[in-house]
Each structure stands twice: as structure tokens, then as C-alpha cells.
Amino acid sequence: MSANASSPIGVFDSGIGGLTVVRALMERLPFENIVYFGDTARVPYGVKSVETIAHFTTQIAQFLLEKDVKLLVIACNTMAAVAAQVVKDLSPVPVLDVIDAGAVAARGGKRIGVIGTPTTINSNAYARAIHDHAPDSRIHSQACALFVPLVEEGWLDHEVTRLTAQEYMKPLLAEHIDTLVLGCTHYPLLKPLLREVVGKDVALVDSAEAMAEQVAAVLTDRHLANPGPAAPRYDFYVTDVPLRFQTIGERFLGRTLNNVHVVKW
């Protein structure tokens, strides 16, 4: 069967972090069916090699294409940083990635800070993507390896997280950034704390929200938007159900997590 307006959007991530993107999609596009894949058995990707990430990413994209998705969304910044092209090469349906979405949203900035996992930052993918849209901007990047575990621990408004954020933001603030791109699935949950640390004059770019806008535009453009009004179906495929999965997942999604299926690879 070929994809049409009622086909689901396929969203994938290294684990449950990509649920921040699903949440933004649910809010922006309430009639769309969504199939999510989170590689919870092999997360985190943010410290793995490019070869390994490309291999895992291919496997996941193929799984979702078999579900007849009409669009693929790479919700994971780390996968988008090193394996977006791999997915684009194999996919017959459009592929959108969070890095491109974040870069488009950041294009108004002149001195742009980017934060992400070590693999994302080392790849320089954000700097390249931002320069494509804003060639005159200056980009200052900072890997924030400790943010993912702190968010998963639920320490969203905790002194340890605040001190960690102050430390990570120091070099960026010294460069007087006017924009900060949250280049990781987990960072939207730190928005209130980061806002406190960087002050009110720095624009925060949430790549999950930016992605929802891009998806909406592409679906309209290709006449693939689901007009509704039937309630959408949401399915969540994961490779493992780790400890506290439900609690953490629901924190990311902002609602109850149902229809969870475990894929044994």
C-alpha cells in the first residue's frame, strides 16, 4: 500500500527523548497518526561512533518504512548529525531531521550558541546547517554530556542541574550569544532552568517545536495532511522496557503513554 493522508508519520529516536518531538507534533497536528520508534535497548547514541549510529539508524528507518509511513522524522539530534543522509538515500518518502529544523529556526541569530551531545557537537552538523541558512552568523558550540542523565533522573529544577548548566553556559555567555539552540531531544525539558541561567535576552530555539512547524508545512505542501476529524492513533515501538520507562516517557510526552510494543532485535 502506498502512503496517503491517513498514513502515520514515522518518528524515531535513540530512546524516549524523541517523545518531546512527538509531543510537539501532537500539539501542532492533532489529527495525525504517529508511529514512534525508540531504541531503548541501545540508548544512549550520543557517545557512540558514527559507523554504529549509521547502522542502527538504517535498521530503524527500514522498520518504520514497513509500517507505510508517509513521512520520516529523525527526532534524535545525534542520528540527524551523523546519519541523516543514510536515511534520505534509502527512503521513498520525505525525510525531515531536527538539525535542519533547528537551523532554520535559528537563522535570525547573529551569535548563535549550540548545545548537544558530544557526538552531535563533534560532527559540526549544526554549524554547517546554520551556516547554510545564516552565512553571516557566528556559531559557538558546547557539548553537554551530563544533561541527558540529569533530565532522565528528573532533575529539571535541581541545584546540581543549575550548577552544571552554569558551567556549560559560561563559555557561550562569554561570547555574548543572542540565540541558544537546544540541540538534543532532552533539552526542551530544561527550558525554564536554561532561561534562568542565560537570561531573558537570549532566544531559545526548541528544535522539537521547529520540527513540528516543518512537518506541518511539508504535509500541506504535498497534500498529505490528515484532515481528521477521527481521533488519531499513536503507537510506540521500543527495543526494551527499561526501569521507570513509563514515568520518564510520560514526562517527555506530557501525557499517558499507551500502545507500547516491544520489538525484539
* Active site residue ranges: 76, 184
Note the helical H segments in the chain. Answer: 19-28, 50-65, 77-90, 98-105, 118-123, 125-133, 147-152, 159-174, 191-198, 207-221, 245-253
Cell 521507570 locates to 244
What SS3 class is residue 97?
strand
Using rule CB under 6 A, residue 184 touches ligand DGL: yes
Contacts of ligand DGL in 15-34 (CB under 6 A): 15, 17
Least distance in Å: CB of 98 to ligand DGL? 7
181 touches 205 (CB < 8 A): yes
Least distance in Å: CB of 125 to ligand DGL? 11
Q: Would you give the binding string for ligand DGL spanning residues 90-129, x where CB under 6 A is met?
A: --------------------------xx--x---------
Q: Which residue, 14 or 161, has its beta carbon nearer to ligand DGL?
A: 14
Using rule CB under 6 A, residue 188 touches ligand DGL: no
Using rule CB under 6 A, residue 168 touches ligand DGL: no
Residue in 56, 80, 61 with CA at minimum distance from that of residue 72: 61
244 touches 149 (CB < 8 A): no
Q: Binders of ligand DGL: how many residues, by CB under 6 A?
A: 18
CA distance 38 to 81: 17
Residues of the shown chain interacting with ligand DGL in the complex, contacts defined by CB under 6 A = 13-15, 17, 43-46, 76-78, 116-117, 120, 148, 184-186
